[in-house]
Structure 1
Amino acid sequence: MKFPFFAFFLLLFIAHVDGLHAQSEDEVSRLIRFRMESDEPMDKIEIRMISLLTTDEIIDFYNHRAFEKAWSQNGLLTKAAYDLRLEILQSEFDGLTPEDYHLSRIESFFRTFEANKANGVPNEPGDLADFDIFLSDAFFHLARNLEIGKVDPSKFGEDWEIARKEPVFTYPVLLEQALAQNDIHGSMELLYPKFSIYKKGREVIRELVEKVKEDTLNWKKVKIDKAIRVGESNSVIPRLRERLIYWGLLEEYNFQDVRLYDSIMMDGIKDFQGTHGLDIDGIIGKKTVLAFNDSPQQQLNTAIVNMERLRWLPDTVKNAEFILVNIANFQLDYLKNLDTLFSERVIVGKKYHESPIFMADMSYIVFSPYWNIPYSITQSEIIPSVRRNPNYISEKNMEVITPSGKVVDPSTINWNSKSFPYLVRQKPGEGNSLGLVKFMFPNKHNVYIHDTNARSLFALDDRALSHGCIRVRNPQDFAKVLLADDPTWTMEGIQTAMHQTQEQVVQLNRKIPVVLVYLTFWADSKGEAHFREDIYDRDEKVLLALKRNSLDS
């Protein structure tokens, strides 16, 4: 049978078209290779007079795949390209800036390609090549920012002394896997901090972004002279009621007196106090009013800053057992196998004696401790007190010792001398400023967790009161959970050890990471947002650094 002419012609046409596609495909890859090559040495590769954000990753990625394009096939964009554009857009919910990832340039390419598709015009190989490089570059830069943070925390000095994380992932390899599995979103999720509060925080930011767009309230700062209780009237009540309704903590209702603080409004006030770490007493005090003054934009800024701090946290925090102290929340949590076994209020360093941000391993507990008084406190507080009251040392159950440990009679010391070659320590007992036990994680700051003889201070909302150490309420319970692996340490035994005249040092059978952090925002497992006062005024510096395009990324 003769082969039909039209069939022969059709095969030739198909072969011709396939050849054109092959030529086009080869041209895109050739142009990508051409873009990677340069006749002049440079720190950054430039595409269309725009410097790429990465260098090694881009070169490694395309060299490994023989410069084959990643984001188009047969001259058309792949689903993965659209998926990555969405990830870049939604990086806003990570507290990042989508424009940092070539968004304007990428969107311009998308408009061109979609117009070409609508008009039946093929995409230019040069456009496809440049688009491919920009998109890959954006992936690598976004991946790094998600995994270890956009800003290097070491730039903030003592504000954050935890070393910057090293990347776990090799981003070109991660991108190859994402393309092979057609799962760009999944690859990005792998880079998120491994805490549930991070993903929950993204949802809060998504809601706050919409709140900011729709916000029409007057956020003029509200001030009060004295606390307001239920049944009292005040001119600020209408504005506070309006803000409670805005935040969804109070439904609109009929009230007789617009200025009256009634019991219905009190329920909303209590909910508000709960999400801001305040005593849930329904009393509108200065701390409650201060929290009410944060607009949606201010809350969004706070959330953005703390999402970055979560990206800074080290892998140690993912361990099965660790102690987390959130200084801004005045709270200590002991976690084991993802369960919170102990949670308690703490007192932290006051302004100018700020508790540092760092991590170290807890290795031992000291029951009935001496308080070895720092030289700075001896100079500023102890010596002046002795000059006013010669019996101060004995009244405070203290003793003076030489550097070698020999006890010296205070009456033989010239307390008016400029030279003071001694050490002062407070002996174990109920009046000891460290209380009855201290928990040691040796560090250069000489900061540790301890009991206190001023336990009434735990009732305060603002507990930034110490010289830098962390005071914990109910330390006997904390000791019990830390020593739970040893059945000989009963609560009775712990109480006995805490009431001795001599120190007793107990070595733990393992080292427990202690992480001191500063988080003024997080979202709980239910997705509820929690905000805390920026007691050390640190948020603004982080926010400004994040807003500077690609700083230290």
Structure 2
Amino acid sequence: MKFEFLAGSRRLTRAAALVLALTAAQGSPVAAQDGFSFTVTAFKQAVAESLGDNPEVAAFYRTRGFEPLWTGADDLSAARRSALFEILGMADDHGLPARRYDAEGLMAQLATARTGRERGLAEMAMTRTYLLFAHDLQSGILDPGTLDAGIKRVLPRRPDSEQLAKLDNGDPRAVMRALVPATAEYSRLMREKLLLEHRIAHGGWGDTVPAAKLEPGDSGPAVVALRDRLVRMGHLKPHLGASYDSRLTEAVRRVQEAHGLEPDGVAGASTLRAINTAPEERLQSVIVAMERERWLNLPEGRGKRHILVNLVDFHARIMDDDKLTFETRSVIGHQDPDRRTPEFSDLMTHMVINPSWYVPRSIIVKEYLPMLRSNPGAVSHLQIIDARGRVVGRGNGFGQYSASSFPFSMRQPPGPKNALGSVKFMFPNQYNIYLHDTPSQHLFKEEVRTYSHGCIRLDDPHDFAYALLARQTDDPQGLFHRILNTGAETRVNLEQPVPVHLIYRTAFTQAKGPVNYRADVYGRDALIWQALARQGVALRAGRS
């Protein structure tokens, strides 16, 4: 298509103008003739029309002179097309909604493209689909911040320019494979998804167990139902025994360990509830966990050493080169919406030995001020502090103050009864969340440990401190206790700050053994599943 510019006689179309502006610097055919003239192919015009407001895509096509990435007649273009359709065909395997990418429609558009313009429109449809799928597979299809106020994650999106440059310069199949999150956790979750789909397609786990409680020595139809269900779940080898024998006891223990329950071998209410949960519900948890794993697919990685706290598993772990090197039980925020622990990542920079507890304003006005108004001597273990840091006497009372006018802060000095115990671990953040010791050790015996105001309490904080300090001293235990014995509030910096990831996984894997499942204590995974379903994600019975 040829456009000629004669003084005021014709107007250049917006698309043609864009092509001219973007390609002039790359040596596009521009010739002076009665002013000047230039040639813009129908293909390039269609590409320019489809660029929209994406400057990265526009810059990419400008640098290649608007030549095709997908729709060329060369072997490399064909390889790119093939690789894209191949990975789009695996969308369901990844728990992504295949209809979102409309591979069949895209194929039909390519097959019917005859003119240069039609090829240009197909070219840009391919680019848009590739970028959409690449972002979805690498970092998730949902916006976490819109789902629940406690999910504070920002999707780790890679730039469009980076996605296109890799495809332009690399082997197409290798580039597509590299879009898949490379963590072992993602691979194992995907394997569990496919196994569950296969099991569902072949009848699921059979009948549920009709009992309130079963224990070693029992027999009868309910025990047979328990045996058969555990066999189908993969926790027990097939056999004809009809009694609650040692084999069944060990299988129940394995189930309990995989569900965060006390492994006593007795099938009580919690254990039977876990066993009777439908495989379809477990499949939903796995698909949600895969989406969550994509949210944490950080370009820089999670850190060679990092701290991983799975809130609903009630454990904090230190990971070194993706291997578990320390683990302790944890207590997290209560289910009350104002006390739930948020999910986010940050950097642990220091610990404080013999910490003071500075009471959060929300706790002061909601819990302590009403007590002080009626009894000035209440909560006497806490100091009341004015704006200049001075301790305020209680003689004048506090009845004149409201939640908005109370001018004081409150502090609990270091000591054996301090709410933070003997040490706290700080990764400064806007949510005022940290890990800490606690005098309430009895709470760690509970299976569901949701008791805090949002911060995370550790069962073995001293050992946790030793593990962190071992990287910077030959005697971490001695260093810690020398400071502790002074009784003075002391900050100890970590010479190498450690990334902290507070996650929420109702389904998670281990290198060996069954996939673990936990209760959705805050209801967040239910919201995520609903959002995924709205996007078109559906449960799928696996192929035989």
TM over 0.5: yes
Q: Distance in 2 between matches of 1:60 and 1:228?
A: 65
Identity %: 27
Contact kept, 8 Å, 1:72 with 1:81, in 2: the verdict is no
Indicate how the Cα distance of structure 1 residues 507 and 217 shifts in structure 2: closer, same or farther if over 3 A, else same. closer
Q: Distance in 2 between matches of 1:43 and 1:189?
A: 28
* Alignment of structure 1 residues 171-190 onto 2, 5 Å: 171-178=163-170, 181=171, 183-184=172-173, 186-190=174-178
- Match of 1:323, SS? strand
Q: Distance in 2 between matches of 1:146 and 1:389?
A: 58
Q: Distance in 1 between matches of 2:75 and 2:352?
A: 70
Indicate how the Cα distance of structure 1 residues 217 and 270 shifts in structure 2: closer, same or farther if over 3 A, else same. closer
Contact kept, 8 Å, 1:317 with 1:515, in 2: the verdict is no
Q: By how many angstroms is 1:219 displaced?
A: 6.7
1:147 corresponds to 2:147: no
Q: Distance in 1 between matches of 2:237 and 2:76?
A: 51
Q: By how many angstroms is 1:438 displaced?
A: 0.6
- 1:300 aligned partner: 283
- 1:98 aligned partner: 98
* Alignment of structure 1 residues 119-518 onto 2, 5 Å: 125=114, 129=119, 134-167=125-158, 170-178=162-170, 181=171, 183-184=172-173, 186-217=174-205, 228-232=214-218, 237-256=223-242, 261-313=244-296, 314-315=298-299, 317-352=301-336, 353-383=339-369, 393-394=379-380, 397-410=381-394, 412-414=395-397, 416-419=399-402, 420-487=406-473, 489-518=475-504
Q: Distance in 1 between matches of 2:204 and 2:346?
A: 47
Moved over 6 A (4+): 74-77, 386-391
Q: Distance in 2 between matches of 1:74 and 1:495?
A: 70
Task: Give TM-score scaled by structure 2 length.
Answer: 0.78
Q: CA RMSD for the aligned pairs?
A: 3.7
Q: By how many angstroms is 1:505 displaced?
A: 1.8
Q: Deviations over 1:384-419 (max 9, x none)?
A: 56688876544xx43333332222344x14254544
- Match of 1:405, SS? coil
- Match of 1:322, SS? strand
- Match of 2:532, SS? helix
Q: By how many angstroms is 1:131 displaced?
A: 6.6
Q: Distance in 1 between matches of 2:151 and 2:304?
A: 23
- Match of 2:198, SS? helix
Contact kept, 8 Å, 2:383 with 2:391, in 1: the verdict is yes
Indicate how the Cα distance of structure 1 residues 239 and 409 shifts in structure 2: closer, same or farther if over 3 A, else same. farther
Task: Give TM-score scaled by structure 1 length.
Answer: 0.77
Q: By how many angstroms is 1:204 displaced?
A: 1.8
Q: By how many angstroms is 1:42 displaced?
A: 9.0
Contact kept, 8 Å, 2:47 with 2:123, in 1: the verdict is no
Indicate how the Cα distance of structure 1 residues 417 and 74 shifts in structure 2: closer, same or farther if over 3 A, else same. closer
Q: By how many angstroms is 1:441 displaced?
A: 1.5
- Match of 1:438, SS? strand
Indicate how the Cα distance of structure 1 residues 172 and 384 shifts in structure 2: closer, same or farther if over 3 A, else same. closer
Contact kept, 8 Å, 1:160 with 1:357, in 2: the verdict is yes
Q: Distance in 2 between matches of 1:238 and 1:64?
A: 68
Deviates further, 66-75 or 245-254:
66-75
Q: Deviations over 1:143-185 (max 9, x none)?
A: 121222212223235232122223156222222234xx3x41x
Q: Distance in 2 between matches of 1:250 and 1:100?
A: 40
Indicate how the Cα distance of structure 1 residues 34 and 450 shifts in structure 2: closer, same or farther if over 3 A, else same. same
Q: By how many angstroms is 1:135 displaced?
A: 4.6
* Alignment of structure 1 residues 57-68 onto 2, 5 Å: 57=57, 60=60, 64=64, 66-68=66-68
- 1:87 aligned partner: 87
